[in-house]
Structures are given as C-alpha cells and as structure tokens.
Amino acid sequence: MPVALTIAGSDSGGGAGIQADLKTFAACQVFGTSVLTLITAQNTRGVQDIHVLQPELVRSQFKSVITDLKPRAAKTGALGKGEMIRAVAELVSKDGPEQLVVDPVMISKHGHPLMAEEDFRVVRDALLPQAYLVTPNRFEAAALCDGRPVESISSMKEAAKQIYDFGPSQVIIKGGHFEKIVRDIYYDGTGFVEFGADRVDSERVHGSGCTFSAAITARLAHGDTLVEALSFAREFISGAIEGAPEIGKGISPVNPLWRF
C-alpha cells in the first residue's frame, strides 16, 4: 500500500484538516501519515480556539515519518503563522517527497482570512517554490497576486500564470462559480486545462478544500499523472459533497467516505 503524508492542523469537529485528510487517504486506499502543526477547538459553527505547535515538535514528527515510512507524496494544509510556514518549507525542501501538494489555507472559500495578512507573503515566497502543485481557491489566488480580483475564467488564467512564476511546478485555481458549472483552471507553464463539473446545490461543504487536495495527493502516491489525479479528485469531491450527511448546527462537512 502506498504511503502519503499530510502536514496540517487538527479539526476537533472532524470535518477538515488532518481528520479530513486521513479519511480521504483511507478512502483512496493509501496509508496515511501525519505531522500536526496546530490544534483547533472547532465545530460546524466555527473555530473557538487555536493553538499553534512549536516548530521543534513539527520537525520531530516529520523526521519520524520520513525516516521510516517513506511517503511517496505529501500535502500541506493549515500552518498557522510565518514561523511554522518557514519551518515546514525548510523540511520539505530538504527531505520531503518530490510530489508535494500545497493547499495554502489562507482564505476560506467564503472569503474569510485564515491567517494574518503578513503571512500571505511567507506562503508565496517560502512554500510555493517547494510545491509540485499548489491549489488555491480564487480568494487565495487573488491574495497571492497582491489583491488583484479573480472573478472570471480569464482572470483565473492570468492569476495562474502569475502564481506559477512564484515557483510551483503546477497550479490549479479552484472554485470559479459561473452559472451552474464549477470550473477549476490548471496551468503547467505551457498551457491550460479546464476542469468543469455540475455545481452541487449544498451548504455541506466544510473541509472540501482539504478533501480535494488529499484526494490528489493519494492518487499521486498511487502513481497517477497529475492530470489523472486532478480528474479523480474533481469527481471525488463532487461525490463527497453530494453524499454529505447533515451533522451539527452549522456548516456540515463533506463526506470522504461517500463511496462506502
């Protein structure tokens, strides 16, 4: 069984972060390993508390996994603040798998900041150059491009080009909601691929970004090409949204185990 690694935060509500990643890895028949960066007190109604771990503990977790379990692919999620972002960037640069999927986790799909604005540049300058693929939503893409709006297919393509110039090998910008179709724009430095799917009319979308990037990572660990992994992940996240049960009194999470 291939091994994959997630470097991310804990969601006590089980809908996003490490919990969503490990569920997705298991659903994709990948053995999941983890490096915990932060702990949240969180449920479907929001985040009540957050504690970022010390970088030394993150380094110890990473060394333990890398030296024994040898993951074929890895992903990053919530890193919290600049010091942690730099530490993780250094770790993956020296000893991480070549296929690193960076989910920036800077701004939510609804446009709410998830880290201090001064740390956006740290993501761009320190972490993106380590990425095999970076998966920003359109709000994160705008932030990485110094606030330039990303509100159309053409602006998504321009943002993808600019983000590519920051150092990742490939870029996919998620979540262009146009009429009844959701479009993701992929760019590899030479051309674009547009992924489209029917928009699922559901508010049960907590953890969708984590689940999407984890599905890509899992398929890369299996040996898929990136376009194959993206196609799989697009179908997988649609099913996870459609198959999400109503849990809690806020925004219910997607269901990575929908196939079962």
Of 23-27, 109-113, 148-152, 195-199, where does the model show the most confidence? 23-27
Q: What is the mean pLDDT of residues 237-251?
A: 94
CB neighbour list of residue 83: distance below 8 Å, 6 or more residues apart:
55
If you average pLDDT over residues 83-108, what whole number do you get? Answer: 95
User: Quick one: pLDDT at residue 198?
Assistant: 66
pTM: predicted TM-score of the whole model, two decimal places:
0.95
CATH for the stretch 3-242: 3.40.1190.20
Question: Which sequence spans correspond to the domains of the chain?
Answer: 3-242
CB atoms within 10 A of CB 39: 18
113 secondary structure, DSSP code: B
Q: Give me the pLDDT at residue 113, please.
A: 82
- What pLDDT was estimated at residue 108? 75
Under the banding of pLDDT at 50, 70 and 90, the label for residue 182 is confident
Task: Give helix then strand counts, H and E, for the chain.
Answer: 8, 9
Which residues, including other chains, have CB under 8 Å from residue 190's CB and lie 6 or more apart?
Answer: none
Calculate mean pLDDT across residues 250-260: 95
